[in-house]
Structure 1
């Protein structure tokens, strides 16, 4: 008689910095196949995943929220696993402290050598990156931690606008981006190892969403200001409240007292964006807030941001955010039922 396929062993890593919502959400979805099989006959009755919560030692730990969680197994005691998954972690003011969890880093590297895939949700990549296995590869991380990640791990090319990146040989180095993109990670794992129908059933049952437009719509632009160039910093401060004026780049050059080529070169070197690109980011960020918080027409919002050409504004908005202004407003505006409207 044919034998039932063994479930894939998932080592879900728990550290005190972990976010409870991500960790428990991943655990619940990967363990939900008994429920899913009742709703869809195409779902296998045999659970395809066996999830262990692992850490430096078994026992209760307090997570970033202060809530307790019980760690079932010490990573050092696990001889083999198929998937090592690190959920999002919350970084404090001092950033990520490397070397705090050498047993977990060694465990992830050892399991990878034996064929396991390594997965991170959101900022969980900070821990997995200590293995060195992601060096030279692309990875995604929460956009709010992207600069910290780039400083800490300069050999990894971070792409915070990406929802999910599968890199390395055998696509064994998986990272997902900001916050609830762990939805995309678990659905990806289900598609990869169980099949699309099972992922679709999980998405329906839990109301999970693929972030098919990427994460660019969620990113809040903050210009780089920790560069030490006083003249450029002064220009950035002025621009923060004058980005909508006519010819803002020329005005910044004039106010700086620098030659135009010198100003533009220094600005680009320290901020990572040309002056006009920086202006565009500020203008689009202002437009995003107005779309979220007002009922003003799209063309008026573009004009207030500094664009007389409404068509150009719409094209630029979509290029930078991945959504049209109307689609952005629909996604991020507080819905009517939450504002106490009649259509509840």
Structure 2
């Protein structure tokens, strides 16, 4: 923890692919610690944090989505930070960062060696992994990135199901997973350096919540491109319209013209999963859509997507989605109804 006689310096890393919402969201949140709570209660206070947007050269640049970023310091002129934070990057899963962010990775590694706590939000984990400091540790990132990161950095234990992970000696590496899990990251950093009460005030002022739902519940199970293998890609295309039929794996094997064992091996090589896992993936994604949009019974949905045994469907759904079908419907069906209501200019969406 930083000494109380000086502000807690937080270096917010600004690189060309950074998104302004999280970068400046962190900046504003940290500036408001203590200050905003006192402001609404008629008092005054100064935040114990000093967030600084820093970049390689300190020069203004246009970042992701066309937003103009004006760094406050270059790496060489940045005061020694207590925390270095890498916010999310607008890069595709699996994007190669070789040589692109080497200077930034080196700087982050050096600051950690000097004692700085490192934090990453969402896809910012890709840059943090580039430092080599995650080797042998638990880590997290956005659910859409963890598979690719697992292939790029097999020595890291990636957890797409965890919204927040603390790792390393003294837990000096803190990582947030998907989307607005950066709220949790900000609250965790505030609690560690300024106390739980200060973090609670920030949560109440900003209506931040510590969402207990696993990020996996939000994940699209069918992400990714068709296989490069033309035979397997044709099977994928067929399965997209026939996943609910009986014995789909056997039908795909027959369609491929390969022996059963050869087909399964080639399918796994092309897609990263076995044929039956792929079938379950398509069925469960369709079941999620039906749970969001319809009032059909869970048994009826199980049958509709290809499962004769609703109990098996329920166990499989919970294992893959981290919620039971009923829990998923309550959470995301309600969200879908509210979003549908928001399309209408008549009336309003209730707050509760």
Q: If the TM-score is normalised by the length of the shorter chain, which range does it land in? A: 0.7 to 0.9
| Worse overlay, 191-200 or 80-89 | 191-200
Alignment length (residue pairs):
341
**Which residues of structure 1 form unaligned runs of 5+?**
none
* SS, match of residue 17 in structure 2: coil
* SS, match of residue 71 in structure 1: coil
Task: Provide the rounded CA distance (Å) in 2 between the counterparts of 1:147 and 1:52.
Answer: 32
Task: Provide the rounded CA distance (Å) in 1 between the counterparts of 2:77 and 2:166.
Answer: 28
Whether contact under 8 Å (2:94, 2:145) holds in the other structure is no
Measure how far apart 1:130 and its partner are: 2.3
User: Partner of 1:273 in structure 2?
Assistant: 273
User: Partner of 2:327 in structure 1?
Assistant: 327
* SS, match of residue 241 in structure 1: helix
Whether contact under 8 Å (1:75, 1:103) holds in the other structure is no
1:1-344 correspondence to structure 2 within 5 Å = 4-33=4-33, 34-38=35-39, 45=45, 47-91=47-91, 95-222=95-222, 228-332=228-332, 333-335=336-338, 337-340=341-344, 344=349
Measure how far apart 1:71 and its partner are: 0.6
Whether contact under 8 Å (1:142, 1:178) holds in the other structure is yes
Task: Provide the rounded CA distance (Å) in 2 between the counterparts of 1:237 and 1:79.
Answer: 55
Alignment root-mean-square deviation, CA:
2.9
Measure how far apart 1:339 and its partner are: 4.6
**Which residues of structure 2 form unaligned runs of 5+?**
none
Whether contact under 8 Å (2:253, 2:259) holds in the other structure is yes
Cα pair distance change 1:100/1:250, threshold 3 Å: closer
| Worse overlay, 281-290 or 293-302 | 293-302
Whether contact under 8 Å (1:139, 1:175) holds in the other structure is yes
* SS, match of residue 11 in structure 2: strand
Cα pair distance change 1:297/1:258, threshold 3 Å: same
Measure how far apart 1:162 and its partner are: 2.4
Task: Provide the rounded CA distance (Å) in 1 between the counterparts of 2:38 and 2:316.
Answer: 45
Task: Provide the rounded CA distance (Å) in 2 between the counterparts of 1:137 and 1:93.
Answer: 20
TM norm structure 2 = 0.85
Cα pair distance change 1:171/1:52, threshold 3 Å: same
TM norm structure 1 = 0.87
Whether contact under 8 Å (1:299, 1:310) holds in the other structure is yes
Provide, for residues 276-317 of structure 1, a one-character-per-residue CA deviation record: whole Å limited to 9, x for no partner: 222111111011122233343333222211123233323322
Cα pair distance change 1:135/1:297, threshold 3 Å: same
